[in-house]
Structure 1
Amino acid sequence: ISWVLFSSRLGCLGDAGEATAATEGVIRCVGAVLALTLVTMALPRPLLRLFPAPWDAFCHAWDQLFAFAKGHVDRRVAAVAARGPLAEGDTCVTDLLARERVPASSIYGNVTELLLAGVDTVASTLAWSLYELARNPGAQAALHRELAGAVGRLPLLRAVVKETLRLYPVIPANARVVSNSDIRVGDYLVPRQTLITLCHYATSRDSRFFPAPDAFRPERWLRHRDSGDTAGDTAGDTPGDTPGHPPGPRHPFASLPFGLGPRSCVGRRLAELQLHMALAQ
């Protein structure tokens, strides 16, 4: 993820001792942010004022991550300025944002969040995918056959990742604040300034939408006519009709591991690419 963001290798995957102290500090900060996010969200503000240690540690970890990302972004921008225009294939995210004249503060913010989100998310989903494929040798054999004879699209590979994310979403819930005015959702009137939390871990294991919800069944994402989706859009993320597996009531929002809309996961395509390549290899 660091190579994609600012064309730097951090040494995390090399020999022991290759990673610098700064890199090890980033790893610790990522762990601290992930561990403290729910704590700082759940504790009421009066308690945070009485017991500020979690909040202080949370802010310190974010500050360290921002400082680390800023240093790499600044070095990349300076290097590109010294070398002149880059070829199409030599660009990274920092280059693209700078080329679009995005403000420096926004570049720092986006790159830092992508650095954080790119660490645990792909690793977690890859681990669960391998775990479920190991527990389901039939699915593993079918996936191997698809990859061995691959001539283009790989619908089962995509279905394995979707089914893993349905069972084990990296982020189990998401939240939004109704900011401007009251809204009506079905039979409910939601007042403005209301915090709405969607626990998509629960919805993605709801038997009304997914028969045998706790079972690992990648085939539930395959369409009967072509055994795969098209471009990963909302319709393509809806369970399809497969022989021997009657689909439940279709609902495109029953499983939303990447969120939806303008605030959906900015790194979705990159995460999916990494997962598909790693599993295929």
Structure 2
Amino acid sequence: MDISLCFLLFAFLYFLTTHFLTKFQNLPPSPSISLPLIGHLYLIKKPLHRTLANISHKHGPVLFLKFGSRPVLLVSSPSAVEQCFTKNDVVLANRPRLLAGKYLGYDYTTLVWASYGPHWRNLRRIASTEVLSAHRIQAFPDIRRDEVRSLIKRLHRDSGNRAVDMKSAFFELTLNILMVMIAGKRFCGGSAEELEQAKRFRAIVAETFQVSGATNIGDFVPIVKWFRLNRVEDKLRVLKEKRDSFMQELIEEHKQTRRSCCSDDRRNKTMIDVLLSLQDSEPEYYTDEIIKGMCQVMLSAGTDTTAATMEWALSLLLNNREALKRAQIEIDIQTGGSSTLIEESDLPKLPYLHGIINETLRMYPVAPVLVPHESSEDFVIEGFRVPKGTMLLVNLWAIQNDPRLWEEPQKFMPERFLGMEGQRDGFKLMPFGYGRRGCPGENMAMHVAGLVLGTLIQCFEWERDGEELVDMSEGPGLTMPRVYPLLAKCRPRPNMTSLLSHL
């Protein structure tokens, strides 16, 4: 028999068998062509969230895909997400064993990568009560206020015709806030040594999201690992060593301080101190590795994501001058014009500012595809059976930009969220995820973003760096960064000149 004929017969039988197995097992619908070894991976292109949205638009909001040997459930409708994160929340509380979790998650033991169980629940409790609780956030208002004022003083000093790199400014501010809470020290605006540490950490964060967001084909096609055809693992191994060394230095600094300090008054003031105190009582469990993993999660997740949200928000305001003006008027009324700077206590009284942040998170979510979940047993969704060990991908971007759910979704309209302060619009908007694995840092992120953006809007008139609209193209990466860092010009608002001069 001719070889080409044999190949065609094999392909026909393969696709026929796959089709009937899908029907027989009552699996969700699937794109018709799943290739041997790679499955539906041939469909995947960058950016991932847009590619997955196109696949869902063509085949349906609940799809069963094969990423090589790994079964994947792709969800892009609010009703399906609700079923995943309510009645099936425990079943879907695990994480898939991806290579990034092995190296960056300390062998799947960090808050992000640990499987659901006693260890993960303990990490979540520590994060929620010791680091990111409302009480802890309220205990550090001076840090946030001081960092915001440091930023506006620098902007005031340098205001004029020179454009400011807002990506760097936002990152440095969020890094300082988190570093003081976690390690008790600022990293930007200090000594030359601290600036070097900040530069080093920023490079680590950028590399983390770049490598984590890269497709590691070995996670889906095991034969690649056998033949070492992929070099992502080598990059992850090197990155792990950089991250590990950076965090160990911080821990050793705190251990030395604790040994030389005769009083216990310093203890529990920072996250590292809290964890070292726990290490004193349970050294076998609270190892340096556990402490480093917790700190890395907080720093990596809390700096880049919040900074990116503020950068997208200011970009949108520069392209929508009416919204910027409306926000200024709202803040002026609340603060009495030029009498005082905005405070965190003012934020609940600024609904339009909240609308700006929520609309930014809707259009440009920092996690356009939520961190993957994995099913610990079979479950049912929309009447379909999904087998144990299936990786769940929720295309948040597709839901939050669906014209069937949102009026003119590509138009920036903060007013769509007026009257919804403190609420989420069902499962149509969930930029911090949902359920057990939802982001515990939501309260912190909203505090920082609200205070920073509100202050910048109050104090300065903002202009684009050129006549053209700000380019809103999305860059590659796990957190959907801007393809070009935002450069913007600012000058003090006339009614704020006196106040800014006396800071």
Answer yes or no: same fold by TM over 0.5: yes
Q: Alignment partner for residue 45 of structure 1, among 218, 222, 237?
A: 222
The superposition leaves residues 132-166 of structure 1 with CA deviations (integer Å, 9 ceiling, x where unpaired) of 11111221122112212227422222221111011
Superposition map of 1:167-206 within 5 A: 167-174=363-370, 175-179=372-376, 181-206=377-402
Displacement of 1:80 = 4.2
Q: Secondary structure at the match of 2:310?
A: helix
Q: Secondary structure at the match of 1:269?
A: helix
The separation in 2 between residues aligned to 1:100 and 1:275, in whole angstroms, is 31
The superposition leaves residues 155-197 of structure 1 with CA deviations (integer Å, 9 ceiling, x where unpaired) of 2222211110111111211211001x21112222211100111
Residue 265, structure 1, aligned to residue 422, structure 2: no
What is residue 233 of structure 1 aligned with on the other side? none
What is residue 120 of structure 1 aligned with on the other side? 304
The separation in 2 between residues aligned to 1:144 and 1:37, in whole angstroms, is 38
Superposition map of 1:28-43 within 5 A: 28-43=203-218
Q: 1:203 and 1:127, CA in 2 relative to 1: closer, same or farther beyond 3 A?
A: same
Contact between 2:375 and 2:392, CA under 8 Å: does it hold in 1? yes
The separation in 1 between residues aligned to 2:205 and 2:438, in whole angstroms, is 21
The separation in 2 between residues aligned to 1:119 and 1:45, in whole angstroms, is 34
Equivalent residue letter for 1:64: K
What is residue 2 of structure 1 aligned with on the other side? 179
The separation in 2 between residues aligned to 1:42 and 1:220, in whole angstroms, is 41
Displacement of 1:17 = 7.8
The separation in 2 between residues aligned to 1:201 and 1:33, in whole angstroms, is 22
Contact between 1:30 and 1:116, CA under 8 Å: does it hold in 2? yes
The separation in 2 between residues aligned to 1:77 and 1:237, in whole angstroms, is 42
Q: Secondary structure at the match of 2:368?
A: coil
What is residue 246 of structure 1 aligned with on the other side? none
What is residue 108 of structure 1 aligned with on the other side? 292
Residue 19, structure 1, aligned to residue 195, structure 2: yes
The superposition leaves residues 56-108 of structure 1 with CA deviations (integer Å, 9 ceiling, x where unpaired) of 112221231122112213322442452533379x8222233445557133222
Contact between 1:8 and 1:72, CA under 8 Å: does it hold in 2? no
The separation in 1 between residues aligned to 2:238 and 2:257, in whole angstroms, is 29
Q: Alignment partner for residue 274 of structure 1, among 448, 453, 458?
A: 448
Q: Secondary structure at the match of 2:200?
A: helix
What is residue 321 of structure 2 aligned with on the other side? 137
The separation in 1 between residues aligned to 2:192 and 2:255, in whole angstroms, is 30
Contact between 1:182 and 1:192, CA under 8 Å: does it hold in 2? yes
Q: How many correspondences in the alignment? A: 255
The separation in 2 between residues aligned to 1:255 and 1:59, in whole angstroms, is 36
Displacement of 1:53 = 2.2
The separation in 1 between residues aligned to 2:233 and 2:329, in whole angstroms, is 50
Q: Secondary structure at the match of 1:124?
A: helix
Equivalent residue letter for 1:6: A
Q: Alignment partner for residue 272 of structure 2, among 94, 97, 108?
A: 94
The separation in 1 between residues aligned to 2:265 and 2:333, in whole angstroms, is 37
The separation in 2 between residues aligned to 1:167 and 1:83, in whole angstroms, is 52
Q: TM-score, normalised by structure 2?
A: 0.47
Q: Secondary structure at the match of 1:86?
A: coil
The separation in 1 between residues aligned to 2:222 and 2:208, in whole angstroms, is 18
Q: 1:256 and 1:190, CA in 2 relative to 1: closer, same or farther beyond 3 A?
A: same
C-alpha RMSD of matched pairs (Å) = 2.5
Q: 1:74 and 1:14, CA in 2 relative to 1: closer, same or farther beyond 3 A?
A: closer
Displacement of 1:15 = 8.0
Q: TM-score, normalised by structure 1?
A: 0.81
The separation in 2 between residues aligned to 1:42 and 1:269, in whole angstroms, is 35
Contact between 1:30 and 1:61, CA under 8 Å: does it hold in 2? no
Q: Which runs of 5+ in 2 are unaligned?
A: 1-177, 280-284, 336-345, 456-503
The separation in 2 between residues aligned to 1:54 and 1:256, in whole angstroms, is 31
Q: Secondary structure at the match of 1:229?
A: coil
Identical-pair percentage: 24
Displacement of 1:272 = 1.6
Contact between 2:373 and 2:391, CA under 8 Å: does it hold in 1? yes
Give the structure, 1 or 2, with the largest relative contact order (CA under 8 Å, sep 6 or more).
2
Q: Secondary structure at the match of 1:27?
A: helix
Equivalent residue letter for 1:8: K
The separation in 1 between residues aligned to 2:404 and 2:206, in whole angstroms, is 36
Equivalent residue letter for 1:24: K
Contact between 2:186 and 2:194, CA under 8 Å: does it hold in 1? no
The superposition leaves residues 233-256 of structure 1 with CA deviations (integer Å, 9 ceiling, x where unpaired) of xxx011xxxxxxxxxxxxx22222
Q: 1:131 and 1:83, CA in 2 relative to 1: closer, same or farther beyond 3 A?
A: farther
Q: Which has the larger radius of gyration?
A: 2
Q: Secondary structure at the match of 2:427?
A: coil
Q: Secondary structure at the match of 1:237?
A: coil
Superposition map of 1:225-240 within 5 A: 228-230=420-422, 236-238=423-425
Q: 1:205 and 1:190, CA in 2 relative to 1: closer, same or farther beyond 3 A?
A: same
What is residue 207 of structure 1 aligned with on the other side? 403
Q: 1:61 and 1:16, CA in 2 relative to 1: closer, same or farther beyond 3 A?
A: same
What is residue 60 of structure 1 aligned with on the other side? 238
The separation in 1 between residues aligned to 2:445 and 2:201, in whole angstroms, is 20
Q: Which runs of 5+ in 1 are unaligned?
A: 231-235, 239-251
Superposition map of 1:216-227 within 5 A: 216-223=412-419
Displacement of 1:203 = 0.8
The separation in 2 between residues aligned to 1:128 and 1:190, in whole angstroms, is 37
